[in-house]
Amino acid sequence: MNIQALRGNVPTRINKLRAGHYDAIVLAEAGVSRLELDLSDLHCHSLHPQRFVPAPAQGALALQMRSDDPHTAFMARLADAEAGPQVESERDVLRALEGGCQLPFGAQWDAASQRLRCFLQTKEGPLRAFAKTSSQALKELLAAPSTPKLKVLITRAPREEGPLKRLAPAQGLLITEFPLIQTEALPLPSIPTEASHASWAWIGSPGAARAAESWLLDHPSIRIATPGHGTAESLPESLQKRLGFIGSGHPLDAWETFASHRTENEKVAIPHSALSLTRWESKEIPGALYAWAHYTPVSVSASPPEADIVCFTSPSNVEAWSLAPPSRIVALGSTTSAALDKLNWPHAVAQSPDDFGILEALLTME
């Protein structure tokens, strides 16, 4: 990948892309939307602010005038009482860092969690903060430990790479991945013959991704859809290239969104667990659907390593836990949270069921 600087106003930058000077460019979505440009000839992808934190005050407009101007009171009516403090909190951290447009820093007030999300690239590595105030976010960025202080156990199969492993060390987190359950392929899964002619394969979990990997490799023309980034990231690189849909991270909502955009000519194959919740039955699709039990989950006999925080990635992993309740718990997804609620185990819930959601949940734990 060759990253180069791109200058000029927004239309100029887009025309440079059209002229072939770049294969892809990154722009502030707020500016593109405000200009109402016709980009129908280009492929546009919105970067989620949780995964790619935008520049401070992106999308905000400011008006500056003399304090004694007679129109001050009139112009003050244009101010957004809610957005003002949010923008100010983003710029407070930038100001404290004495940064400008050359500083690799991002800040965004997240309305859903009422927290300030920050990213800062340093020589020691990338730093993240997810705090209630700008002063707390600044403190987290400046006080990031150089050595891990907390051991975090994630109940999933180890991954060689991923955002969490890149971000965790600078945050003082030592990540250990240890699955409490494993996938075991059924001896003779009853795969519908028509499934090999499907347009799509709905891969509903990392377990399904591992179990159906060989089947997917045998059918290279089938595109892959996942309910969220967590499952997408669990796919090997060769299969990630075939991703055509990644949902919001909430399985039921993701399936209904995916199903709503299918046509009668699109057939969907669903290799799933023998214990699957069969969410695809919640909404019919126009085209044919072929679902079959491809694997079954089995418990791991070995005991998990000690940890200060345990992140459960599925209800099955919660059920497989045989030790005393962990003192600090993170749940990945609503169904995992429901399984922990049944046990009356206090826990935090990751805002999104992927590496970024896990990291932010860990950063907010006391």
pLDDT in tens, 315-355: 889 999 999 999 999 999 888 999 999 999 999 999 888 89
Burial environment of residue 318 by CB neighbours within 10 A (0 to 12, 13 to 18, 19 or more): buried
| Residues 255 and 187 reside in one and the same domain | yes
Cα-Cα-Cα-Cα dihedral sign, residues 96, 100, 106, 108 = positive
| Residues 156 and 241 reside in one and the same domain | no
- Positions of the chain with pLDDT lower than 70, given as ranges: 144-147
| Residues 24 and 101 reside in one and the same domain | no
| Residues 84 and 161 reside in one and the same domain | no
Number of domains in the chain: 4
Q: Which two tokens stand for residue 366?
A: 């006391």
What is the structure's pLDDT at 220? Answer: 95
Strands (E) located in the chain:
105-110, 115-122, 125-131, 150-154, 173-177, 181-185, 200-202, 223-226, 243-246, 268-273, 289-299, 309-312, 329-331, 348-349
The answer to whether residues 203 and 175 touch, using CB atoms and an 8 Å cutoff, is no
| Residues 243 and 340 reside in one and the same domain | no
Q: Which residues pair with 140 in a beta bridge?
A: none
| Residues 195 and 261 reside in one and the same domain | yes
What is the structure's pLDDT at 144? Answer: 67
What is the structure's pLDDT at 10? Answer: 93
What is the structure's pLDDT at 27? Answer: 92
Whose tokens are 């006999």? That residue is: 301
Q: Which two tokens stand for residue 184?
A: 């075991």
What is the structure's pLDDT at 154? Answer: 96
| Residues 156 and 284 reside in one and the same domain | no
| Residues 257 and 154 reside in one and the same domain | no
What is the structure's pLDDT at 61? Answer: 85
What is the structure's pLDDT at 146? Answer: 64
**Reduced to 3 states, what is the DSSP secondary structure of residue 123?**
coil
| Residues 38 and 54 reside in one and the same domain | no
What is the structure's pLDDT at 346? Answer: 96
Q: Which two tokens stand for residue 63?
A: 């008006």
Distance of CA 35 to the CA centre of its chain: 28
What CATH number is associated with residue 309? 3.40.50.10090
DSSP string, 246-282: E--S-HHHHHHHHHHT--TT--EEEEEETT---GGGG
Global pTM reads 0.76
- What's the CA angle centered on 189, arms 188 and 192, to 5 degrees? 125
What CATH number is associated with residue 92? 3.30.160
What is the structure's pLDDT at 53? Answer: 94
Structural domain harbouring 2: 1-46
| Residues 200 and 265 reside in one and the same domain | yes
**Boundary of a domain, candidates 249, 284, 299:** 299
| Residues 282 and 308 reside in one and the same domain | no
pLDDT in tens, 158-210: 887 788 888 888 888 999 999 998 888 888 889 999 999 999 999 998 889 98
Task: Phi first, then psi: give them for residue 265, nearest 5 degrees.
Answer: -85, -10
| Residues 281 and 353 reside in one and the same domain | no
| Nearest-angstrom CA–CA distance, 86 and 63 | 17
Residue 222's nearest CA partner among 275, 290, 273 is 290
β-bridge pairing 243-246 and 181-185: unpaired
